[in-house]
Every structure is written in structure tokens, then in C-alpha cells.
Amino acid sequence: MVPSSKQGETSRKSNCKNTAFIAISIAISFWACLQYRIVAVTWTQVQTDMTNSLNSFYHQSTEQSQQKEIQFPKDNYQDPHTKGAQSEPAGPDSPVKLPSNSKPNLDSNTFSLCLLLKDDNDILNEWIAYHYHTLNLRYMIVALDPFSQTSPEPIFEKWRNLFGMTIEVWTDKDYMPDFFLQGKYDQVDSFIPQFVNQDQSKSIWHTDTSNASQVEQDLIHINNHRFRQVTFVSHCFEVIKKNLPNHSVTDKKGKQQPDFQHWVGHIDTDEYIVINPLLRDNPNRTKLIDIPNTPTSGSILQFLMDLFEKYPKRLSRSCFMIPTVLFGAQIHDDWTHRGGVINFTTTIDTDHWNAARFETLRWRIHADYSNIINGLQKAILDLSHLPADHEIFQNHRIKSVHMPLDKGGTHGCRQMSLKPEIHAVRLFPLSINHYVGSRERYLSRPDKRRNIEIYEGKARVTGGVDDGWIRGWLPSFVQEHGLEKASQVLEEYRVS
């Protein structure tokens, strides 16, 4: 037995050793954390940006926006279109109208899209071809960004002539309000207060500059873009609603109800609508409906229409939320070992397509479904079932481009995450593949919100590998329309 004095001495030595060990550990941990912070600080900003975006779009009302409104000056910045603007452009009180010679196909077997476009010609044909084939996309209203450097008209003309699509092209003068066209940007609602932190000379996008004037102009540009988005999509939905056929039947309660569906969406050219991958993994979750083994002609639209027939009480009648899944820019080995060329000999004989040229064929590694980096959900609306007196038509204003309608109710939008739970999958039978694309494409567009650190954070996601379901659209498209016709709109995707 150790005497008590020796016990105390042994205890003190032990405590000193423990204290020294803890101090060293803390120092090492601090150094490691400091190094990690240096590397990860930009990525932390990206995640904060996305978190703030989620909170902003889902919870920020117009009243809240006005309470935090940032007063932008109107003299130091001017969009290109404001020079020589017409005195009576279309605005919120004078909705744009389709040209008299336009006859869009708006029956229940087709799909329509509202697209805000800026210099995406290099990926536009694939995007149109995919949605034309799988969703029966037959009508698009396209708003050209005033800062665009290229024209999509040659591309659109091919789709009009060869595939009979109706594509309307708008500029700001067709739908933006008078005050905006006159450069009075101080009257624009504030869409970005959460990114500025009450100091207009700083923002989360301007950590590397102290030029207050440049920051100010960048923020005006970003805010104007978001105002342009909301205004365009609002008018686009309104025009399509007014041009829908007036077909209805009497229901059991004696009320007149549309006897068809016409879905309309707003997505970007790097986004592709697919059937929820969690449903593809477990088709028993929709026992009453067969899930297509591959995306064929009209298959996604038919799947959506079948859902409402078999599960009418589980889905919102007018608004359908679609979660996004981010696909990074890492190459998967399943096609690189073949030299980047896919040969669909079983359906189109000896023809070859350059797989590296297609976004839907090239990228397969994606983020985890629950990762916030996937970003905000999108929505499609069945405008045939949305009442003509709905507030978005009366006010000429949707809630946001990501959630056009309020939550809940017969005609509301339901917001949830893309997770494996059965109820969530049934509420979201569709999802969106969002392709970040190559570094060159991402950084080629001058945008203060884009930089190499943000790109690398998105490009290196490693949540899973896609099952390849989307790839079947190309051989199906070629088989449906023939190699010659398909090649005319996908000419740049062929192996030279």
C-alpha cells in the first residue's frame, strides 16, 4: 500500500502530464483547424449562401423584403436595353400577348417551358431534344437576357422547321415594367438583403474587393436579374394560361373541371427532369404505375399523368415540387475506358455519338440526396387546373421562381426534401439532374457569384453514382425520329 504523501505526489505528476498532454493536443487541434479553415473558408461561404437562399425563397414575403429593402441608386448603372427604351412597354398592368401568327400546341399530351436564356447555345440542343422527347415539350417562351452575347435563333429555327415546335422569343421590352426599362432601379423590390448584411459596400460575393462602387453595381445587377426572373416567369405562366383550350366536364358535385392536364415549368438549360431515382430503385412504392425502364417518347409526361389518375389525393392538384440533385464534374470510369465514345449499335447500327459532348452522358457522380449543395427545388404547374382568378394571375406575380404558389391547399406547393422515406418519394416522383458542367463552361460567364472555389466545391461532390437511366433517351430519340433528322439538330454532338 502506497503512503498518502506518495499518493499525492504521484497524483500531482499525473495531473501535470495530463495537463501538458491536453495543452499539446489543443495546440495541435488549433493548428489543424486553422489550416482546415484556410482551405474550407470559401466552401463554408458557399454553404451559407445556399442556406440563406433556402430561407429567403421559402420564407421571405414581399412585406419582409420591403422591411429590409436596400435602396439602390438609379444613376450609376444601366442595363443595355434601357438605352432608347420605348415609352409604352408591357408591364405588370399590361401582360404580353402572343403574336397573332402563333399557334402553340397546348393539349394534354404536351408540355411547355418558360426559359430565361443567356449564352447557353453550346448545351441548348441537347436540353431541347431531351425534353422534347421525354416530356413532349412542344411550346417554349424564351426570354433573352439583355447581356447575352450570342443569339439562339438559328437553333430555334431548326426546331421550328424540323420538329414543329412553337418557340416565342421575348426581350425585356415585352414584359418588364416601365420604371425598369427607364432605369429606375431604386423602385425594384429587394431580393438579396440576406447576402448584404445591411452594408451595401460589402456582400458574401465581394470578400476580395474594397471597391464600394463596383460592389454596388454588382449588387444592382444581381438584384435586377432576380426581379427579371420573377417578372418573366409570372408573365409566361399568365400567357400560357390564357391560351389553354377551354375543355371541361362536370364532376360529381356539379362543378366544371378541366378534362385535361397541361404542365408548365421553369428550369435552366443545365437542368433535366427525370423520374425520381429512389422510385427507380424501388418501383414497389408506386405499385399502381409502371416506371419506364428507360426514358422513351413522352414517357415522363405519361408517368406524371398516370400518377394523378392513380394517386389523386396524394399530390397537389396544381403545383408539383421537384427536388434537384447536383451532378459534379468528376469522370466515371464506365465510359472513359471506351475513349469517350458511346456506340449504340443495337438501335442505330454503326452510328457513333461523342459521349463527352453530352451533359446527360458524361456526368454520373452526384451529391448525396440530402446535401444542401443540391440547392433549391423547382416546380411545375398544371395551369389547366389553376383557377383563372388565382392571385398569381390577378397580381401578375408568382411567389418565387422556385415556389410559384403558397404552400398547402388544393392548389398549393408542397416543400419537402428528396429522402428515401416512402411518403416523400410519393410526393416527389420526379427530380431534376442539375449538371455543374466543365470548369471552362462554368467560369466563362462573367458573374460575381461564380469563382473557382465555388466551382470546385460543386464539381467534387461524391454522394453516389447515377444508375444510367437518363442515358437511354438518346438511342430512343434517334430511333423515334431517324438518324438523319436527329443529326440535324444534334450535329455538333456527332463524332467527326
Residues contacting residue 316 through CB under 8 Å, at least 6 positions apart: 410, 411, 412, 413, 414
Distance CA 387, CA 371 (A): 36
Amino acid identity for residue 100 in this structure:
S
* Strand partners for 140: 113, 167
In the structure, what pLDDT confidence band is assigned to residue 409 with cuts at 50, 70 and 90? low
pLDDT, tens digit, for every residue of 303-318? 988 887 777 666 666 8
Q: Name the β-bridge partners of 464.
A: 366
* 327 vs 103: CA distance, rounded Å: 37
Q: Contact at 8 Å (CB) between 431 and 325? A: yes
Lookup: cell for 327 = 451532378
For the chain, the structural domain boundaries read 16-493
Bigger pLDDT: 345 vs 415: 415
- If DSSP states are collapsed to H, E and C, what string results for 6-64? HHHHHHHHHHHHHHHHHHHHHHHHHHHHHHHHHHHHHHHHHHHHHHHHHHHHHHCCHHH
**pLDDT tens, 369-406?**
888 899 888 999 888 888 888 888 888 888 888 888 87
Name the one residue in this structure whose C-alpha cell is 431534344.
129
Q: 332 pLDDT exceeds 90?
A: no
232: helix, strand or coil:
helix
Q: Which residue has the cell 415540387?
A: 321
Cα–Cα distance, 42 to 47 (Å, whole number)? 9
* CA atoms in the 13 A half-sphere facing the CB of 464: 13
Contacts of 349 (CB under 8 A, 6+ apart): none
The answer to whether residue 21 scores a pLDDT higher than 80 is: no
